[in-house]
Structure 1
Amino acid sequence: MTVPAWARTIRARLALTYSALLFGVATLLLGGIYLALSQSIESKPLDPVTVKKFEKGGGGIVNYRPGEDFQAADIRDVQEYVNYTTLETLRTYSFIALAVLFLLSLLIGWWVAGRALRPVERITTTAREITASDLSRRIGATGPRDELRTLADTIDDMLGRLERSFSAQRTLVDDVSHELRNPIAVVQANVDAVLSRDDTTHDERAHSVSVVSRATHRMASLVDDLLATARTRSGAFVDREVDLSELADEVVEEQRLLAEGRGLRLVRRLAPGPRVVADAESLSRALDNILANAVRLSPGGGEVTVASGSMRGWAWVAVRDEGPGIAEGDRERVFQRFGRTGVARDHDGHGLGLSISRQVVESHEGHIALFGEPGVGSTFVVWLPDRAIRRDEDRERTPPQTDPLGRA
């Protein structure tokens, strides 16, 4: 037997549930009343006695008067009969009331279920209207903040996160396409104009190979940073307790030769003690991106300072350079993907390093701050919860807003 579509809906099941519960309660109530009355009072059908009427005729003869018989019973039998008829009436009207109540409960249950499920219908309608190219629709539930309102708000929040994620994905694809177009064009041009021809000189080929090598290196670096971005977004970390000063010292050592090659002096002011729970590889890459920027942008003969410490329950690593500095209005932009400002546009790089550093730091419940001004230099400070402090109440809720190296 095929069940109608409306009978398979949750609204129908709720209506039937409401009706069954109400009908059951009413049945128990009326049945209890009937049983209580039947047990507390005496009742039975009336069993009257037929009384014949006689009269005394002439001569003292008693004669029967036909047709004038009547029924008679004592007062106790009459009372029991009244009780009996009352119970019969109660039982009859109870069955009628239960039948009417069952029908009314079905109608009321259907109406109540419809009102209760109205937000679900709105959620379903909105979900059907959402497409992969348009995630802007929202349920926008109103009314009391009950479970369905909470569900609708949760779905709205989820849609918002999905929309932001899709938008960021599209932006990333557009940016990557833009960034790869130039080195690919460089490689293609050199292959077509020089490397594919037999009449080019050795010097021309050497120059083209050098140009192609730089372009492919840039593309490889870009791909590495994109993989690091994807890894950061996915949360694929292996956290362990890390000595922040030792980690910073390792990063400085990796950049030492490059700094010396540019005539820079790396100054270490690493205080032992601060410990953080983090993925050492990701955090090392975040610090390396910051230090590499400082080494790349600092003028030859300058100084780059790397320091660490702990303040108000927060461990920190700071990198201070003597580079061009960053205007206050551009400080947020340098942390955006492919965001490059000022003289940074004239140096190698593609603008993903600081974006990755911020993602890594924030995924470890930390914060990255930027201080400095144009012409003076910049100080990047990474703040992370200091796990050397065991009690959370000894740590301020937010990291300090000051430059631990003293530059305003």
Structure 2
Amino acid sequence: MTTVRVRLTLIYSGLFLLTGTVLVVTLNLLLTQALHARVGGRPDGPQAPPAPIPPELIAGTPVPRPRPPLPDEVQDVVGYQWAVAAVAVVILAAVSVAVGWVVAERILRPVHRITATARRLSVSNLHERIALAGPRDELKELADTFDAMLDRLERSVQGQRRFIANASHELRTPLAVQRAAIEIGLPEDAGEIRGTLLAHNRRIENLIGALLVLAQAEHGLDDSRPVALDQVVRLVVAETRAGQVAVTVRAEPLVVDGDAVLLNRLVTNLLDNAVRYNHSGGRVEVTLAAGVLTVRNTGPVVPAERLGDLFEPFRRLHTTRGQGSGLGLSIVASIARAHGAEVRARANPGGGLEITVTFTPSYASRAAGPGWFRDDMATA
């Protein structure tokens, strides 16, 4: 792929080489013509023998005289001049390429600055600006337009964060009051009404919590820190109630730059989904190796054409059972995108799913240290 810098260098050097070549050739031709006019016409110069005149041109028609040849010394000077001109053109071509390369770099420097800022920006550092200094030209106008767009984007993200925080408080507080009223106002011998109301209350709380986590993941990471993902995986497996489903784990050391709470939620949703949509005596295999988290389970057969629906909000497969919110794997996909990871699902031939989360090298490192995530988890 040819870069803009290479193309600009070729354009600069090509125009310079073309102009220099035309100038040198023109000067040499004019010099040769002047030598013919001055040296060849001198009395002591060589005289060409007169050429015979055809009979049909004798009747008053002017006949041009042939140009006399130049002396050998003058012809040597002209040949030397052409050789020097050719060498000068080659040297100028090399110089023009070097100068064009430097000039193109200086011209594209503001563009590189804009590109570096755009790559570095995330939700956690939207306050940064390009703030390009210099003359008021097209590049300065582009940088200022980009800064204005960042201002609007920062205000939008801040408004969404305030909305999520307010919605979390306004939605969870009435549910907590409702649950307390059910537990206190209805005696335990009220029958199925008390249990049904509490079950619906918990389900709504879980749904609201899932929606808030999904919104937070969709807006990116506020703060990115090294997280020992292998320790997160082992902690989640240890705290999961698998019932009659056997869970095995094999996790190699892996550090991921991201949010410890969201990564914990990613692993929890994957494991809960693998346990819930399984059968008695089934198994779940959790593997973390080479930057890839894999959760494989047994269970009902999943049609291959329905795999895309797994990561859509509120999509449930008819072959599954349970009272999930339909947001588990969509939250997994959003958290993975926020951490630069890719999620894929594959249906097992005998039933169940294999879901893989692949972390890119820019977010993951094989070297892990103990306890890197526990402080974040404790303060979340």
TM-score interval for Structure 1 and Structure 2 normalised by the shorter chain: 0.3 to 0.5
Q: TM-score, normalised by structure 1?
A: 0.44
Structure of larger gyration radius: 1
Q: 1 or 2 for the larger relative contact order (CA 8 Å, sep ≥6)?
A: 2
